[in-house]
Protein backbone atom coordinates (compact mmCIF):
# COMPACT_ATOMS: atom_id res chain seq x y z
CA UNK A 1 0.00 0.00 0.00
CA UNK A 2 1.34 3.40 -0.85
CA UNK A 3 1.20 6.64 1.06
CA UNK A 4 1.55 10.17 -0.31
CA UNK A 5 2.50 12.87 2.19
CA UNK A 6 1.80 16.56 1.61
CA UNK A 7 4.06 18.99 3.45
CA UNK A 8 4.96 22.66 3.64
CA UNK A 9 7.57 22.90 6.39
CA UNK A 10 9.90 21.22 8.82
CA UNK A 11 8.38 17.72 8.52
CA UNK A 12 8.70 16.10 11.94
CA UNK A 13 5.42 14.27 11.35
CA UNK A 14 6.74 13.14 7.97
CA UNK A 15 9.84 11.87 9.76
CA UNK A 16 7.71 9.89 12.21
CA UNK A 17 5.82 8.33 9.30
CA UNK A 18 9.09 7.52 7.49
CA UNK A 19 10.45 5.84 10.63
CA UNK A 20 7.22 3.90 11.19
CA UNK A 21 7.13 2.60 7.61
CA UNK A 22 10.80 1.62 7.79
CA UNK A 23 10.31 -0.26 11.06
CA UNK A 24 7.27 -2.06 9.64
CA UNK A 25 4.86 -0.56 12.20
CA UNK A 26 2.92 1.06 9.34
CA UNK A 27 2.19 -1.60 6.69
CA UNK A 28 2.89 0.60 3.67
CA UNK A 29 5.46 2.68 1.88
CA UNK A 30 5.66 6.39 1.14
CA UNK A 31 5.70 6.62 -2.66
CA UNK A 32 5.89 10.42 -2.92
CA UNK A 33 6.28 13.53 -0.78
CA UNK A 34 4.74 16.65 -2.28
CA UNK A 35 5.62 20.12 -1.04
CA UNK A 36 3.95 23.39 -1.98
CA UNK A 37 7.05 25.15 -0.75
CA UNK A 38 10.47 24.65 -2.42
CA UNK A 39 12.56 25.15 0.72
CA UNK A 40 10.65 22.88 3.10
CA UNK A 41 12.99 20.96 5.41
CA UNK A 42 10.61 18.03 4.96
CA UNK A 43 11.97 17.60 1.41
CA UNK A 44 15.45 16.95 2.77
CA UNK A 45 14.09 14.37 5.20
CA UNK A 46 12.39 12.57 2.30
CA UNK A 47 15.49 12.69 0.11
CA UNK A 48 17.61 11.27 2.94
CA UNK A 49 15.20 8.33 3.09
CA UNK A 50 15.34 7.88 -0.71
CA UNK A 51 11.70 8.84 -1.12
CA UNK A 52 10.73 10.61 -4.37
CA UNK A 53 9.77 14.26 -3.91
CA UNK A 54 7.80 16.72 -5.97
CA UNK A 55 7.69 20.47 -5.51
CA UNK A 56 4.45 22.10 -6.58
CA UNK A 57 5.53 25.65 -5.84
CA UNK A 58 2.23 27.39 -5.25
CA UNK A 59 3.70 30.74 -6.25
CA UNK A 60 4.56 29.46 -9.72
CA UNK A 61 0.91 28.65 -10.52
CA UNK A 62 -1.44 31.26 -11.87
CA UNK A 63 -4.05 30.48 -9.23
CA UNK A 64 -5.55 27.97 -6.81
CA UNK A 65 -7.59 26.17 -9.49
CA UNK A 66 -4.57 25.46 -11.71
CA UNK A 67 -2.55 24.35 -8.68
CA UNK A 68 -5.29 21.98 -7.52
CA UNK A 69 -5.72 20.56 -11.03
CA UNK A 70 -2.04 19.67 -11.12
CA UNK A 71 -2.17 18.24 -7.59
CA UNK A 72 -5.16 16.11 -8.60
CA UNK A 73 -3.40 14.88 -11.73
CA UNK A 74 -0.35 13.79 -9.71
CA UNK A 75 -2.45 12.17 -6.99
CA UNK A 76 -4.52 10.22 -9.50
CA UNK A 77 -1.36 8.91 -11.10
CA UNK A 78 0.01 7.82 -7.70
CA UNK A 79 -3.37 6.44 -6.61
CA UNK A 80 -2.33 6.24 -2.94
CA UNK A 81 -4.17 4.20 -0.32
CA UNK A 82 -3.84 7.22 1.95
CA UNK A 83 -2.84 10.86 1.59
CA UNK A 84 -1.38 12.36 4.77
CA UNK A 85 -1.31 16.08 5.33
CA UNK A 86 1.68 16.70 7.58
CA UNK A 87 2.13 20.37 8.25
CA UNK A 88 0.61 21.14 4.84
CA UNK A 89 -0.47 24.76 5.08
CA UNK A 90 -3.24 24.79 2.46
CA UNK A 91 -6.88 23.89 2.41
CA UNK A 92 -7.36 20.92 0.10
CA UNK A 93 -9.86 21.76 -2.65
CA UNK A 94 -13.22 20.10 -3.20
CA UNK A 95 -12.24 18.14 -6.31
CA UNK A 96 -9.29 16.45 -4.63
CA UNK A 97 -11.37 15.66 -1.55
CA UNK A 98 -14.21 14.13 -3.56
CA UNK A 99 -11.80 11.93 -5.53
CA UNK A 100 -10.09 10.66 -2.37
CA UNK A 101 -12.98 10.58 0.02
CA UNK A 102 -12.05 9.07 3.40
CA UNK A 103 -8.51 8.60 2.19
CA UNK A 104 -7.06 11.97 3.28
CA UNK A 105 -5.85 12.37 6.87
CA UNK A 106 -4.72 15.42 8.79
CA UNK A 107 -3.06 15.97 12.15
CA UNK A 108 -4.07 19.04 14.13
CA UNK A 109 -2.42 20.32 17.33
CA UNK A 110 -5.54 20.70 19.51
CA UNK A 111 -8.41 18.59 20.77
CA UNK A 112 -10.90 19.40 18.00
CA UNK A 113 -13.45 20.88 17.74
CA UNK A 114 -11.61 23.31 20.03
CA UNK A 115 -9.15 25.67 18.35
CA UNK A 116 -9.31 24.82 14.63
CA UNK A 117 -7.20 26.72 12.11
CA UNK A 118 -3.84 28.38 12.60
CA UNK A 119 -1.88 28.74 15.84
CA UNK A 120 -3.95 26.18 17.74
CA UNK A 121 -1.45 26.00 20.61
CA UNK A 122 -1.47 29.79 21.01
CA UNK A 123 -5.26 29.81 20.92
CA UNK A 124 -5.31 27.14 23.67
CA UNK A 125 -2.92 29.08 25.92
CA UNK A 126 -4.82 32.33 25.43
CA UNK A 127 -8.10 30.63 26.22
CA UNK A 128 -6.58 29.22 29.39
CA UNK A 129 -7.49 25.57 28.92
CA UNK A 130 -5.85 23.11 31.30
CA UNK A 131 -5.82 20.24 28.83
CA UNK A 132 -5.06 20.40 25.13
CA UNK A 133 -3.67 17.79 22.76
CA UNK A 134 -3.90 16.66 19.19
CA UNK A 135 -6.36 15.10 16.76
CA UNK A 136 -6.06 12.90 13.67
CA UNK A 137 -9.08 13.29 11.45
CA UNK A 138 -10.33 12.64 7.94
CA UNK A 139 -10.20 15.74 5.78
CA UNK A 140 -13.50 17.10 4.56
CA UNK A 141 -14.35 20.42 2.97
CA UNK A 142 -14.27 22.41 6.20
CA UNK A 143 -11.33 23.70 8.20
CA UNK A 144 -10.33 20.86 10.59
CA UNK A 145 -13.91 19.58 10.70
CA UNK A 146 -13.74 16.01 9.34
CA UNK A 147 -14.56 12.81 11.29
CA UNK A 148 -12.17 12.25 14.21
CA UNK A 149 -10.06 9.08 14.23
CA UNK A 150 -7.81 9.49 17.29
CA UNK A 151 -7.08 12.12 19.90
CA UNK A 152 -4.44 12.39 22.61
CA UNK A 153 -4.59 14.77 25.57
CA UNK A 154 -1.68 16.87 26.86
CA UNK A 155 -1.82 18.68 30.20
CA UNK A 156 -1.12 22.41 29.97
CA UNK A 157 1.41 23.49 32.61
CA UNK A 158 1.29 26.93 34.19
CA UNK A 159 4.80 27.53 32.94
CA UNK A 160 4.01 26.50 29.36
CA UNK A 161 4.82 28.83 26.48
CA UNK A 162 3.63 28.34 22.90
CA UNK A 163 6.97 26.65 22.21
CA UNK A 164 6.93 24.21 25.14
CA UNK A 165 3.27 23.31 24.69
CA UNK A 166 3.79 22.80 20.95
CA UNK A 167 6.70 20.49 21.70
CA UNK A 168 4.72 18.37 24.18
CA UNK A 169 1.83 18.12 21.73
CA UNK A 170 4.19 17.28 18.85
CA UNK A 171 5.44 14.17 20.64
CA UNK A 172 1.86 12.91 20.88
CA UNK A 173 1.17 13.93 17.26
CA UNK A 174 3.89 11.61 16.03
CA UNK A 175 2.42 8.70 18.00
CA UNK A 176 -1.23 9.02 17.09
CA UNK A 177 -0.63 9.96 13.47
CA UNK A 178 1.32 6.76 12.85
CA UNK A 179 -1.26 4.76 14.80
CA UNK A 180 -4.13 6.17 12.73
CA UNK A 181 -2.34 5.52 9.42
CA UNK A 182 -1.65 1.95 10.54
CA UNK A 183 -5.32 1.41 11.43
CA UNK A 184 -6.53 2.87 8.13
CA UNK A 185 -4.16 0.74 6.05
CA UNK A 186 -5.14 -2.34 8.03
CA UNK A 187 -8.76 -1.50 7.15
CA UNK A 188 -9.76 -1.31 10.78
CA UNK A 189 -11.64 1.98 10.53
CA UNK A 190 -15.41 1.94 10.14
CA UNK A 191 -16.96 5.29 9.32
CA UNK A 192 -20.61 6.05 9.99
CA UNK A 193 -21.38 9.70 9.40
CA UNK A 194 -19.16 11.61 11.81
CA UNK A 195 -18.31 8.61 13.91
CA UNK A 196 -15.23 6.52 13.30
CA UNK A 197 -15.09 3.13 15.02
CA UNK A 198 -12.07 0.86 15.25
CA UNK A 199 -12.57 -2.87 14.60
CA UNK A 200 -11.35 -4.71 17.66
CA UNK A 201 -11.04 -1.44 19.60
CA UNK A 202 -8.14 1.00 19.91
CA UNK A 203 -4.99 -0.73 21.16
Q: Which stretch binds ligand GRF (CB under 6 A): 47-55, 59-67, 104-112, 123-131?
A: 104-112
Among 20, 36, 75, 87, binds ligand GRF (CB under 6 A): 87
Task: Count residues near ligand GRF (CB under 6 A).
Answer: 12
Among 17, 111, 173, 185, binds ligand GRF (CB under 6 A): 173
Is the Cα dihedral 95, 134, 156, 13 positive or negative? negative
Among 5, 6, 37, 107, binds ligand GRF (CB under 6 A): 107
151 binds ligand GRF (CB under 6 A): no
Pair 103, 83: CB distance under 8 Å? yes
CA distance 37 to 33: 12
Strands 195-198 and 189-192: antiparallel
Query: Catalytic amino acids?
Result: 108
Nearest to 111 by CA among 197, 169, 192: 169
Point out which residues bind ligand GRF (CB under 6 A): 9-13, 86-87, 107-109, 170, 173
Amino acid sequence: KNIVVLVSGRGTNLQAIIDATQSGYIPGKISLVISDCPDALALIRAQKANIPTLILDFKSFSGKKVYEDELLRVLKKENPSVICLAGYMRIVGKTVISQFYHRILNIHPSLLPAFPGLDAQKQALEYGVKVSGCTVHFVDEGMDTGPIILQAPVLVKETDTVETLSQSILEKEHEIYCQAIKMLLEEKLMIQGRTVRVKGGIK
